[in-house]
Structures are given as C-alpha cells and as structure tokens.
Amino acid sequence: MVKPKKHYKKCPECGSTELVYDDQRGEIICSRCGLVIEEKMIDVGEEWKRFEEGEKKGHVGAPLSLQKFDQGITTNIGELSDIYQLGSEKKIRKYFRLKKWQERVSTSIERNLRLAMAELRRVASVLDLPNFVKEEASRLYNLVLQRGLVRGRSMEANVAACIYAACRSYNLPRTLDEISAASDVDRKDIGRTFRFIVRKLNLKIKPSDPRDYIARFASMLHLSPKIQSDALKLLKRKEVSELTSGRGPSGIAAAALYIAALLNDEKRTQREVADVAGITEVTIRNRYKELLDRLGMKEKLKIKEMEAKMQRRRKKKS
DNA sequence: AAGACGAAAGTGGTTGA
DNA sequence: TCAACAACTTTCGTCTT
C-alpha cells in the first residue's frame, strides 16, 4: 500500500479525511463522496526488491515536487544500440518518428513548464504565499497544461489565475488587484482565465468569505488584535452574513474593520481602509451604512458615544 | 485643509430571453 | 447575441471639524 501525497489531507469536496489510494489505477478517492481527487499519480512508494542482500529497501532520487516541471521525472525514448533488432524497415522508421515527436512535444511542454514555474515562484514570493499554496498552484497549472487549456492566453495569465485559485481554495484570498500588481497581468485577464479554468477543471471553489481578509487588512493598517477580533465578531453575526451575497467580500471586510476601529478609538480614515482593501471610499460608506442598519441600535449608540468622546476631547484642547 | 457624505453618471460582468 | 440589471467606481459638490 502506498500513501497518498501528503498535501491531500482532506477531500476538497466534502472535507472527509478518509481518502483511499487505489494502487492499480493510481488514483486518490474520497471514500465518503467518491470524488476522484488525483489521478494518474506516480507511485512514490518504496521499492519491493532488494538490490543486494541486507540492503535497505528504498528508492532513490530527489523528493518529488510538483514545482519541478515534471515532478522531477522524465522518461525519454532511449537510444538503441542496434536499431536492426527492431526487425523490419517499417518498425525502424516508426521508431525514429516516435522519438522525434516525443522530443518535440516534451521540449515544448518542458520549456513552457520551466518558464511557468519560475514565474509562479516569483509571483508567489512577491505575494508571500506559503509553500502549500505554491504546490497547489503548480498542481493546477500542470492540469491546465495537460488539458491544453493554455491556448490563446498568455502563460503569465494562466499562472496568475492558478495562484488566485490556489489562494481561494485554501481560504487565503488575495484580491485580484494584488495578484495583478505582483504578476503584471491585467486584472480582467486574470479573472477571465480564472473563471475559464474553474469551469474546465470543474474546480469547486467556495465564494470567498470576508472574514478571510480581516487579518491581512488589519495588519496592513496596523490595527490591534482586539480590533481584528471585534471585526470578526461583527461578521459572524447572522444579520451580517445574510448581507454577504452578491457583494464584494473585501468591501464588507473593510467596512467591518472601519467600524471596529471606530468603536475601539483607533480610528482610520475611510481613505486608508479603502486603499488597503483595494476599493473606494464610496463602497466603504455603502457597506458601512448597511452594516450599521443591520446591527441595530446597540452599535449605533456606541458609535454616538465615541463621537461624543472625541468632541469632548477636542473641546478640552481648545 | 482634510475628511465624511451622498448624488449622478459611467464601467464591466452576469443573466436570461 | 443582446438588453436589463446590480455592484462598484469616478467625479464632484457640500458640509463639518
């Protein structure tokens, strides 16, 4: 029995941890919902045979990584020392034809992947993404390339879209604008390519949750942890979660932070919050107003209090 | 002068016939 | 494929501090 690759701990579909590895077919399957998570895997298990009596079982070579263009393994049609062992003239010609084609195909894929992986590493490091997100993005890019979905779109756009998708599926969302800035690809192109890939690969990606943005925005604004947790509390309320649908999640996150900052006497201007969230003040205002409407009187009163406090302080000064 | 607020017009994407 | 539509942006004027 061979263990699945380690980054599949959970089924992306139902979250079950009961994953079954099918040796014969080379597939990982979720035993609860039946989703085939990965197919055509390479057997990464130990070798059966012993090389010498008393030697440990084991295989050799660098660890597999999806960030290597072919996971570190290449197979080529080999050189034949004696081509006449193939027999007929026909078979010899076939051999050369196959060899030529294989070289052509593999060098073009190889070149593409090598460039793409370099680009991926570059963008990921600008965005400061953890390794498992990089791996997921590479895996997606490999899939995309395998299915020939790169046609008509630039490699950069595909890489950016894969990174975006990987971030989303691990709930570490970056905005399209951030990825656009890091990769120098137009935001529209990334979005278009992303949607295309999601559709073609049947990826299941949840709509992103405003709460996932809070920590990052808060630290960019140098807000205290208290404010982060307050903003999260605001967003956890039922009344608020109903508001989420259809709206841009970053706007809601930004408004929640703005409110939390006001309530905690660490006010940031709408401009500042809007900038880190990549939206405009107007949107903050709209979300802010909607949030206050939903939250009812308690928060409104608190905000009035804060305003009054500020006023008193100003009077003292003058 | 700077920030908040809101109205109005414009933009890009989705949806449904 | 086209029009209607919602969300969001841009721009601008006004008010408050």
Q: How confident is the model at residue A4 (pLDDT cuts 50, 70, 90)?
A: very low
Q: Picking from A24-28, A50-54, A141-145, A176-180, which range would have the lowest pLDDT averaged per residue?
A: A50-54
**With 60 as the cut, is the pLDDT of residue A53 above it?**
no
A235 and A214 Cβ atoms separated by less than 8 Å: yes
Instruction: Compare A96 and A130 and report the one with higher pLDDT.
Output: A130
Which pLDDT does position A1 carry in this prediction? 40
CA–CA separation, A122 and A118 (whole Å): 6
Quick check: A199 CB within 7 A of strand B? no
Quote the Cα angle for A26-A20-A135, to 5°.
Answer: 65
Instruction: Compare A297 and A91 and report the one with higher pLDDT.
Output: A91
Q: A222 — alpha (psi -120 to 50), left (phi > 0) or beta? A: left
Distance from residue A294's CA to nucleotide C15's C1', rounded to whole Å: 26
Phi, psi at A308, each rounded to 5°: -60, -45
Q: Picking from A108-122, A162-176, A257-271, A284-298, which range would have the lowest pLDDT averaged per residue?
A: A284-298
Architecture of domain A211-317: Orthogonal Bundle (1.10)
- Tell me whether residue A278 is exposed, middle or buried, using C-beta atoms within 10 angstroms of its C-beta: 0 to 12, 13 to 18, 19 or more: buried
Q: Considering only CA atoms, which residue is closest to the C1' of nucleotide B14? A: A246
Domain boundaries defined on chain A: 106-201, 211-317
Strand C nucleotides with an atom less than 7 Å from a protein beta carbon: 6-11, 17
What is the Cβ-side half-sphere exposure of residue A253, based on CA atoms within 13 angstroms? 24
Which pLDDT does position A239 carry in this prediction? 62
A53 and A68 Cβ atoms separated by less than 8 Å: no
CA–CA separation, A314 and A186 (whole Å): 46
**With 80 as the cut, is the pLDDT of residue A57 above it?**
no
Distances (CA, A) of A215 to A42, A68, A180, A210, A232: 38, 32, 21, 10, 9
Q: How confident is the model at residue A62 (pLDDT cuts 50, 70, 90)?
A: very low
Quick check: A192 CB within 7 A of strand B? yes
Distance from residue A282's CA to nucleotide B9's C1', rounded to whole Å: 14
Quick check: A31 CB within 7 A of strand B? no
A153 and A182 Cβ atoms separated by less than 8 Å: no
State the fold for domain A106-201. Answer: Cyclin A; domain 1 (1.10.472)
CA–CA separation, A251 and A256 (whole Å): 9
Distance from residue A290's CA to nucleotide B4's C1', rounded to whole Å: 16
**With 70 as the cut, is the pLDDT of residue A188 above it?**
yes
CA–CA separation, A123 and A133 (whole Å): 12
What is the Cβ-side half-sphere exposure of residue A6, based on CA atoms within 13 angstroms? 5
Quote the Cα angle for A43-A45-A51, to 5°.
Answer: 115
Phi, psi at A21, each rounded to 5°: -100, 125
Task: Label the pairing between strands A19-22 and A36-38.
Answer: unpaired
Phi, psi at A164, each rounded to 5°: -60, -45
Which pLDDT does position A181 carry in this prediction? 87
- A195: nearest nucleotide, CA–C1' criterion: B13
Intrachain domains A106-201 and A211-317 with the same fold: yes
pLDDT mean across residues, chain A: 74
Sheet holding A19-22, edge to edge: A19-22, A27-30, A36-38
Q: Which helix (H) or strand (E) holds A118?
A: helix A89-127
pTM: 0.68
- Give every CB contact of residue A29 below 8 A, 6+ residues apart in sequence: A19, A20, A21, A22, A35, A36, A37
As a whole number, mean pLDDT of residues A248-266 equals 85
